[in-house]
Structure 1
Amino acid sequence: MEQEQWTEIIEPRTHLLDLRLRELWRYRDLVMMFVRRDFVSNYKQTILGPLWFFLQPLLTTLTFVLIFGQIAQLSTDGLPMILFYLAGVTVWNYFSETLNKTATVFKDNAQMFGKVYFPRLTMPFSIVVSNLVRFLIQFTLFLIVWVYYLIKKDAVHPNYLVVLTPFLVIMMGLLALGLGMIISAMTTKYKDLIFLLTFGVQLLMYATPVIYPLSSLSDKYKWLILANPMSSIVETFRYAFLGSGTFNWGYLGYSFIATIIILLVGTIVFNKVEKSFTDTV
């Protein structure tokens, strides 16, 4: 009798840090299917469709220019207001959208998780990828405005740090993934966190130099803002493309180390909770 050959053997995890990246690669088609699903579900019944990719950051930027630039008259380090806020919004949108969706991945997909097996990490990873595509579209919009001010106005002075852009994007994605996995694991037991999530992310934005430059803060409060790993990422991105702001290799190094630690903690918590989350969600 010929021995049966199984295409998939489901085994328990022996290590909490086991990401099973090889398994994730084998299910790459499923990841891309989830990515396409996110795009379709978000804009299928909207009138403007994908145009919202451009309209959302533009409307947010114009709102910031009016409220924080014109009314509150916050400093922009001498940079054009629209470019200053658009840089912050472009970066922050990728981080916040990835964090928000990753943090509710267990709740949003509980029925699917309970019915069929697939590597659970494919779901949060697909969120990182789908938001990366959205970021690239919005980043293109930023580049169009940036080139206009670079050529026509001579108002910005980019530097060699623009080569760090892919590194900064990867850091943002991994940081949002780590935080999102931690929160998603906690929401399986403490569902109140779901209601606090949107408010918490919004509050975190004000603890990040998105609407103000780091240089405008006094030393008394600057350390508190720098404790947020996203702060140096936003400042480095703005400094690289606009030539004004605060950059320090030490600050960026701290953000990198914090990102790795948060990602490791998120992986441990996610791997531990996924074994029994269907009993509590």
Structure 2
Amino acid sequence: MKNEILNNNPQTDDWDLVIKGHTSLFDLRLKEVWHYRDLLFLFVKRDFVTVYKQTILGPLWFFIQPLLTTITFTIIFGNIAQLSTDGAPKIIFYMAGITLWSYFSNCLTSVAGVFNANASIFGKVYFPRLIMPLTVVISNLMKFGVQFLLFVCFVTYFVLNGQIHPNLYILILPLIIFLMALFAMGIGLILTAMTAKYKDLNQLISFGIQLFMYVTPVIYPSSSVPENYQWLVALNPLVPLFDYMRYAFLGIGAFSFFVLLYPVVFSFVILAFGVLVFNKAQKTFIDTV
């Protein structure tokens, strides 16, 4: 009889999942994210498939959007404003910047709206909340891959015509995209925690991202910035990443591995801080939306 009581004791059972009401700020439960990886892949598939599911042109918008933006920038900033492109063909110069910027801005905007966009799901079922920001980063990475393919086609054309000269630095592109994803996710996690409590901040995010584009060398080379403003450009961790893109694929400007030290440190620090802020906000999120 005594053995039966011991065997029925709940404390001796091995549970697959334990949900606790009070957890530490530094208890990130990253193992749970790995256990829910199948859910992550399902969300990525959902985002990639459903965005253009009921559109006429469908996935062609992946090509049309950057192409139209590139043409617009070429006409306005290249032909009318006559901004410098460091001798590179205008259309490929702007496409290099737009390809990178589209990935960064889309990740940042979507991660910043994670809480508000998924409030109905978060209130009904439990899963690690970091799944949603990771979904945004991965699904946008797939979109970036499609747009990057278009960029490679243009690069190939200008290489064959002898107008640009790529180099072996193109091999470290995955590292550049990884750093950009970390930076966008870190900032986005901080913003989504803030917008969950202060809804009017949503109005400032898109406006702030537009302003940030103009202090990032998307439509101009960093070498064209006046000397007295170079210190301001140096504070932007995205500048070395855009300089890399044009140096590696277009052969213009300058680049070294040393300049990546700042974006590497900044991206990891801002991501760590963003995860902590997100982890704290998710505990009371449902009560504030």
TM-score interval, normalised by the smaller of the two chains: over 0.9
In the TM superposition, what is the alpha-carbon distance from 1:12 to its structure 2 partner? 5.2
User: Alpha-carbon deviation of 1:158?
Assistant: 1.5
Partners of 1:17 and 1:81 in 2: how far apart?
48
Q: In 2 relative to 1, CA 231–17 (structure 1 residues): closer, same or farther, beyond 3 Å?
A: farther
Please point out which of 111, 131, 138 is paired with 1:102.
111
Using a 3 Å threshold, how does the CA distance of structure 1 residues 246 and 214 change in structure 2: closer, same or farther? farther
Residue 29 (1) aligns with residue 38 (2): yes
For residues 143 and 14 of structure 1, the distance between their equivalents in structure 2, rounded to whole angstroms, comes to 47
CA contact (8 A) 1:178 1:263 kept: yes
Instruction: Give, as a single letter, the amino acid of the residue that structure 1 aligns with 2:139.
Output: S
TM-score calculated relative to the size of structure 2: 0.93
Identity level (%) = 53
Q: Which residue of 2 aligns with 1:162?
A: 170
Question: Aligned letter for 1:240?
Answer: A
**Do the aligned partners of 1:215 and 1:246 also contact (CA within 8 Å) in 2?**
no
How many residues were matched structurally? Answer: 280
Aligned residue among 71, 77, 94 for 2:86:
77
Equivalent position to 1:45, from 51, 54, 59: 54
Specify the alignment match of 1:232 in structure 2.
240
For 2:274, which of 255, 266, 269 is the aligned residue?
A: 266
Mind listing any 5+ residue stretches in structure 2 that lack a counterpart? Answer: none
Change (3 A) 1:17 1:76: farther
Larger Rg: 2
Task: Please report how far the alpha carbon of residue 13 of structure 1 lies from its aligned counterpart in structure 2 after TM superposition.
Answer: 6.8
Mapped partners of 1:255, 1:123: distance in 2: 24
What is the CA-CA distance between 1:254 and the residue it aligns to?
0.8
2:207 maps to which of 174, 199, 213: 199
Question: 1:250: Cα distance to partner?
Answer: 3.8
Give the distance between the partners of 1:233 and 1:269, measured in 2 at CA.
26
Q: Which runs of 5+ in 1 are unaligned?
A: none
**SS class of match (2:95):** helix
Separation of aligned partners in 2, 1:233 and 1:144: 21
- After TM superposition, the score normalised by the length of structure 1 is 0.95
SS at match of 1:188: helix
Q: Establish whether residue 128 from structure 1 lines up as the match of residue 137 from structure 2.
A: yes
Whole-Å separation in 1 of the counterparts to 2:246 and 2:27: 36
CA distance in 2 between partners of 1:83 and 1:213 (Å): 13
Once superposed, which parts of structure 1, at least 4 consecutive aligned residues long, lie more than 4 Å away?
Answer: 1-5, 12-15
Structure 1 residue 226, shift from structure 2 partner: 2.3
Q: Which amino acid aligns with 2:154?
A: V
What does residue 183 of structure 2 align with? Answer: 175
C-alpha spacing 1:189/1:26, structure 2 compared with 1 (3 Å): same
3-state SS in 2 of match to 1:158: coil
Aligned to 1:199, what secondary structure does the other structure show?
helix
